[in-house]
Amino acid sequence: MRTGLRSSLRICLLGAALAASGCVSNNQAGSYGSNFDREEAAKTRMSLGLTYLQNNNYSQAKKNLDKALAFDPRSADVQYAMAYYYQLVGDNQRAEEFYEAAIDLAPNNGDIANSYGAFKCQNGQYEDAKAYFFDAINNRLYANAAQTYENLALCAQSQGNLEEATNYFKEALKHQPARAKSLYLLTQLYTVSEQWDLAKQTSKQYEKVARVSPDSLWLAYEIAKGQGDLETAKGYGEMMQSLFPDNPLTARFEKESASSPNRIVKVVKNSDNAAPSKTTAMDKSVPEVKSAQPKASDTGIERTVRQASTNTENAASVNAQASKTSIAKAQSNKLSAETPKIHVVKPGENLYRISLLHNIKMATLQEWNNLGNTGAIIAGQSLWLVPPSMQEE
């Protein structure tokens, strides 16, 4: 949400003009010449304050924003900038007060409404957030509807409303078809609901407008696995190894490969008379994150063909498989012991992304952390990644 909020709050650097007007001359404290323009001085101080904020110099940012507010307390932009400052430093009460003041001064400002909506959602006030987002969207002069629909989608997703989130991402893409972030996040939602054809379609659109990244390669790997195209999946994994050898997702791929190095399945295509397989519909309440090694019915594979020339070979195959199972179980126990027990929520994270990161179903995370039906979480919150029986160890 903060990313969207930052982009909503545009910082206009004034260049040489800013430097020239940044120093306000006065003959004595509290008095200014007759030609002194308080509105322009407020804009200059606000720009300086926001620039300091961008460079993480919070003390200088606050000094300049305070001066901007003193020069022009009736400026909606200055009130908005103050709200943004207090939101960044975590003083939500003061941020709320300044957002309200900015909205009162400029009720038709779409940028302020969008950012206030993001702030509301960040604090778990979904219905209020939704109202402000739509205030921005319905403003005919507002040019960032795609961004606001994306914020709506992220907010819905943080509340566990994945079908609603999917629809909002689609609306964002209607306004901006090449919006890379919306394409990627929509692909994620299709993947978690195992709508593989739609996931592949949006993934291809994303690849046309964005650079290759570990996340995009992992997503493509998951989609290929889901479609039963294991050769293509392997290709994406090897591409991760080649381009991003030190990335955690590459390590995750290598673990999956090591757990079943000899598992080769032959996909039997449907006959001409066979009905095409249906994609799994999205679970409107709690979606499931598919396992690292999906079952045949989950991936669309009709059946696996295992050939053996003699009964002896069959027996050897069974023994080998049993041995592999024992090794895999031992590895699984080792991984379980090494798995972190707590995840601290970072800004912008939601339960869906955390479930993907740790390969734990959202429903399970909700149960282990007593989150209720919405699954609402906030930055800084600690989440258990283990069942209650292990939480006191």
Give the mean pLDDT of the chain.
75
Q: What is the average per-residue pLDDT within 95-115?
A: 95
pLDDT at 331 exceeding the cut of 70: no
What pLDDT was estimated at residue 259?
A: 81
Q: Whole-angstrom Cα distance, residue 335 to residue 209?
A: 37
What pLDDT was estimated at residue 355?
A: 77
Q: Shortest CA distance to 158 belongs to which of 389, 387, 386, 379?
A: 379
pLDDT at 335 exceeding the cut of 80: no
pLDDT at 267 exceeding the cut of 70: no
Q: Shortest CA distance to 144 belongs to which of 4, 348, 12, 2?
A: 4
pLDDT at 180 exceeding the cut of 70: yes
pLDDT interval class at 239 (50, 70, 90): very high
What pLDDT was estimated at residue 341?
A: 83
What pLDDT was estimated at residue 48?
A: 94
What pLDDT was estimated at residue 216?
A: 93
Element at 281 (helix H, strand E): none
What pLDDT was estimated at residue 32?
A: 63
pLDDT interval class at 301 (50, 70, 90): very low
Residue 90 makes CB contacts below 8 A (sequence gap 6+) with none
pLDDT digits (tens, 9 = 90+) for 120-172: 998 889 999 999 999 999 999 999 999 999 999 999 988 888 999 999 999 99
pLDDT at 232 exceeding the cut of 60: yes
What pLDDT was estimated at residue 247?
A: 93
Hey, what domains does the chain have and what are their CATH numbers?
Answer: 177-259 (1.25.40.10), 338-393 (3.10.350.10)
What pLDDT was estimated at residue 1?
A: 42
